[in-house]
């Protein structure tokens, strides 16, 4: 399902506000505690978001993404990696007061949403922006940002006492992003399932149904039967796509079940990811 821009931007605004409330109601000492993301403190999670949302706001506005460009220039011929940029961005903010890190994220997220809202209908439909792993349409840039806000909000909430926040749209759009990225994710792992497709049907918060081709640009014909199926609980699939729950553990628990070509379905779950 492809959402219209007004609905998508509305959902993104809601998710930005939800993460803002997570930040607002977290006890101050929790920011200096480990997050659920290995190797990062809770404040590091928000520092990472601040860097990426600042860059996203700049490119949508039409300005150079200065921190991202500076990092690329510093590589001196070494390959660019998103993980490398994230680590550099977190390190660059290590000396800031925690409150400043949190405020910087809020301003960056607000700026991104404001500039996205100003994009003309023609640019919304046609323009591609140079993002972390290549050119991206703004609808998917918006989706990727709200997906990261939900994922990293869960990282923080897992260790600050607030508990999980299961809402339909961020979970649904996280799954949707992971499914859309399947051809890329599988290719990154050296797997070629061109010509095959998967049917995904999940229920609960984030529920939805997808029939997706596994080769780049492939759209299954209406009369094609899927080669593999994945059914079960939407929140668990979203967390698998977020790389927060191991696929094998979720399969063992029964929260997700693969059918037809079970080996193919298992490989899909092991490699699905909702971000680059």
Residue-wise pLDDT tens for the chain (276 aa)?
689 999 999 999 999 999 999 999 999 999 999 998 888 999 999 999 999 999 999 999 999 999 999 999 999 989 999 999 999 999 999 999 999 999 999 999 999 999 999 999 999 999 999 999 889 999 999 999 999 999 999 999 999 888 898 999 999 999 999 999 999 999 999 999 999 999 999 999 999 999 999 999 999 999 999 999 999 999 999 999 999 999 999 999 999 999 999 999 999 999 999 999
- Do the strands 208-213 and 197-203 form a parallel or antiparallel pair, or are they unpaired? antiparallel
Average pLDDT in the chain? 96
Residue 260: strand pairing partners:
228
- Just give the CATH number of 5-165: 1.20.120.450
What does the domain layout of the chain look like in residue ranges? 5-165, 177-271
The fourth-level CATH superfamily of domain 177-271 is SCP2 sterol-binding domain (3.30.1050.10)
**pLDDT attached to residue 1:** 61
**pLDDT attached to residue 133:** 86
**pLDDT attached to residue 161:** 85
**pLDDT attached to residue 165:** 87
């Amino acid at each position: 399902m492809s959402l219209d821009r007004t609905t998508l931007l509305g959902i993104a605004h809601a998710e930005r506000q939800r993460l803002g409330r997570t930040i607002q109601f977290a006890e101050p000492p929790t920011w200096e505690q480990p997050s659920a993301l290995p190797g990062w403190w809770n404040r590091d999670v928000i520092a990472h978001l601040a860097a990426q949302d600042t860059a996203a706001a700049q490119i949508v506005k039409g300005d150079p993404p200065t921190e991202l460009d500076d990092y690329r220039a510093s590589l001196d011929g070494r390959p660019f990696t998103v993980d490398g940029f994230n680590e550099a961005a977190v390190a660059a903010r290590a000396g800031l007061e925690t409150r400043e890190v949190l405020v910087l994220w809020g301003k960056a997220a607000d700026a991104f949403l404001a500039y996205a809202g100003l994009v003309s209908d023609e640019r919304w439909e046609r323009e591609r922006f140079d993002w972390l792993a290549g050119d991206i349409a703004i609808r998917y840039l918006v989706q990727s940002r709200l997906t990261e806000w939900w994922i990293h909000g869960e990282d923080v909430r897992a260790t600050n006492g607030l508990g999980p926040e299961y809402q339909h749209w961020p979970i649904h759009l996280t799954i949707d992003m992971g499914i859309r990225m399947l051809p890329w994710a599988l290719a990154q792992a050296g797997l070629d399932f061109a010509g095959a497709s998967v049917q995904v049907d999940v229920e609960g918060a984030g529920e939805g149904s997808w029939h997706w081709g596994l080769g780049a640009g492939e759209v299954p014909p209406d009369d094609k039967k899927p080669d593999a199926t994945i059914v079960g609980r939407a929140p668990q699939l979203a967390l698998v796509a977020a790389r927060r729950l191991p696929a094998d553990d979720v399969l063992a628990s029964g929260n997700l079940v693969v059918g037809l070509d079970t080996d193919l379905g298992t490989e899909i779950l092991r490699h699905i990811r909702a971000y680059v």
